[in-house]
Amino acid sequence: MIPPSISFTIIILVILTVKVMKTAAVCKAERCIWVPGPVIVGAGPSGLAVAACLKEKGFPSVVLERSHCIASLWQLKTYDRLRLHLPKQYCELPLMAFPSCFPTYPTKEQFVAYLQAYAGRFDIRPVFNHTVVSAEYDERIGLWRVRTMAAAQDGGVEYVSRWLVVATGENAEAVVPAIDGMEDFTGTIMHTSLYKSGDMFEGKKVLVVGCGNSGMEVSLDLCNHKASPYIVVRDSVHVLPRGILGLSTFGLSMWLLKWLPMRTVDRILLLASRIMLGDTARLSLRRPLLGPLELKSLSGKTPVLDIGALAKIKSGDIKVRPAIRRLMVHGAEFVDGRSEDFDAIILATGYKSNVPSWLKEREFFSEKDGLPRKPFPSGWKAEQGLYAVGLTRRGLMGVSMDARRIAHDIEQSWKAGATQPMTT
C-alpha cells in the first residue's frame, strides 16, 4: 500500500504535469516556462516587496524586469540630489528596516543600497532585460500567459502561472506634454528623468515646467549651481514645511489622523504652514480649495514638502511664471502676455503607469491612467489571480500594505488549490 504522503506527492505531480502539458499546447512563444508561483512584473520596490513576502511564506516567484538592474527608476532616472521625501520609517519595505545609521531622509544612493541589500537578504533574483509585451488570462487553461522580449535574444519567452502581480509602478513612463511650438525651440529640452545635476546649466537661464516636488527640487538645484531658474506654476499647489515643531509633517499628519477628522487635520497643517512659510499666494503659489490631505486622498496630487525652494522664490533667485502659451525659437510666451528667452527647458511633468500598453485586462485597471479602478484600500486584488502592488498612490507605505495582503491571499489560494509551497 502506498503511504499517504507519497500518494499526495504523486497527485500534485500529476496536476502540475497536466497543467504544463496544457500550457505547452497553447504556448505561442519560442520558449515557454511554467512558473509554480506568481509572475511579478517589475523589480522596483513593489516587486521586491511582494517577492520577499512570498519567500518568507515559502512560495517561489519569478520577477521580470525590463532593465538591467533593480529599482531602475531610482538608479537610472533620478537626479543626484534626490532624497526620500518622507522619514525612513514610513518608507521601509516589509520584513527589513533601514539601517539605524541612515539619516532620517536617506539619499538616493542609500535607498538603492537598502534595496540591493533587501534583494540579497531574500535571495530575489529578477530576470533582467526582459520586457513584458503582453499578459492575458487564458480561460482555456485557467492560467496567466505573460509574453516577454529579451534584449539580447531573438524570439519571445512566455511565462505561464496561476497568478500575475503587476508591480510596474505609477512612474513607469515619463509624461512629456505637447506644448505648442516645441519643435521650434532651439535650446535643450529634457524631462527630469534625464536630469542629473545643475552643473551643466551654470550661468544659463532655465525654464522648469511643473511645480511638484521634482520641479521645486530641480529649481533649487539649478539655483545652487549658479543657473537662473524660472518655474512654471500652472495650477494651484499646496506647499508645506517638511517639518513642524521638530516632527516630520507627514508623521504629524498620520498621528493627528488617529484622533481627528481629515479636514480638521488639514486646517491644522494649513495654519502651521501659514505661520512658518507665510502667504504663498503672494508668491503666485495659490493653494487649492481642498486641503492637502483631502486633495491627496481624492486625486492623488501630492503636496510639495519644502526643503528650501520657497526661500529662493521669496528672494527672487527662483522666479515664478504662469502657464506657457507657446514656445518660440529662443524662449517662451506665457499666458499673461510676457515673452522671455531661455537656454533650456526642463519638464518636471511627472510620470504615468504603462499597464494598458501590455496587460490585456479592462475591468480592474483603467485604460485612462493605468491604475486600479477601485480606490484604496481595495485596489490590490482583482479576479482570476490578478494583483496590483504600489498603484494606489499611497507611496512606499502603500507598497508594504499591498505586498503583505497579496502574499497572504496567494497563500490562501494555494492551500485552497491543494498545492503546497515549493521553494527554489
Residue 267's nearest CA partner among 294, 245, 285, 246 is 294
Span 240-258, mean pLDDT?
A: 93
Backbone angles phi, psi at 408, to 5 degrees: -65, -40
Out of 15-24, 278-287, 414-423, pick the least confident.
15-24
Residue 14 has pLDDT above 80, yes or no: no
pTM for this prediction: 0.88
Helix/strand/coil percentages in the chain, nearest 5: 35, 20, 45
Asked if residue 360 has pLDDT above 70, the reply is yes
Q: What is the DSSP string of 289-313?
A: SS-HHHHHHHH-PPPEEESSHHHHH
Whole-angstrom distance, CA of residue 125 vs CA of residue 362: 30
Side-chain half-sphere of 36: how many Cα atoms within 13 Å?
A: 16
pLDDT at 134 over 70: yes
Share of the chain above pLDDT 90, in %: 81
In this predicted structure, the answer to whether residue 92 has a pLDDT above a threshold of 70 is: yes
Cα distances (angstroms) measured from residue 366 to each of 101, 164, 373: 41, 17, 6
Residue 270 has pLDDT above 80, yes or no: yes
Structure confidence by residue, pLDDT tens digits, 40-89: 999 999 999 999 999 999 999 999 999 999 999 999 999 999 999 999 99
Q: What pLDDT is recorded for position 29? A: 52
Residue 28 confidence class, pLDDT cut points 50, 70, 90: low
pLDDT, mean of residues 84-108: 95
pLDDT at 349: 95
Using the predicted structure, report yes or no on whether residue 418 has a pLDDT greater than 80. Answer: no
Question: With 60 as the cut, is the pLDDT of residue 125 above it?
Answer: yes
Q: What is the pLDDT of residue 27?
A: 57
Per-residue pLDDT averaged across 282-286, rounded? 95
Omega cis (within 30) before 377: yes
Q: Give buried/exposed letters for 179-197 (b at 16+ CB in 10 A, else e).
A: beeeeebebebebbbebee
142 vs 25, residue with greater confidence:
142
Report all structural domains of the chain as residue ranges with CATH numbers, in order of start. Answer: 4-172+353-416 (3.50.50.60), 175-351 (3.50.50.60)
Mean pLDDT of the region 178-190: 95
Mean pLDDT of 1-22: 41
Rounded to 5°, angle at Cα 16 from 15 and 21: 100
Measured at the CA of 280, the angle between CA 84 and CA 228, to 5 degrees, comes to 70
- 381 DSSP assignment: B
Contact in structure between 215 and 348 (CB atoms under 8 Å): yes
Give one word for 93, left, alpha or beta, with left for phi > 0 and alpha for psi -120 to 50.
beta
Q: Tell me the mean pLDDT in the region 122-135.
A: 95
What would the grid cell of residue 45 be?
Answer: 520596490
Tell me, what's the pLDDT at 424?
40
Under the banding of pLDDT at 50, 70 and 90, the label for residue 155 is: low
Q: What distance, in Å, lies between the first and last C-alpha atoms of the chain? A: 31
Please say if the pLDDT value at position 148 is more than 50: yes
Average pLDDT over residues 415-423: 56
Continuous segment of H or E residues that includes residue 174: strand 173-174
SS3 355: helix
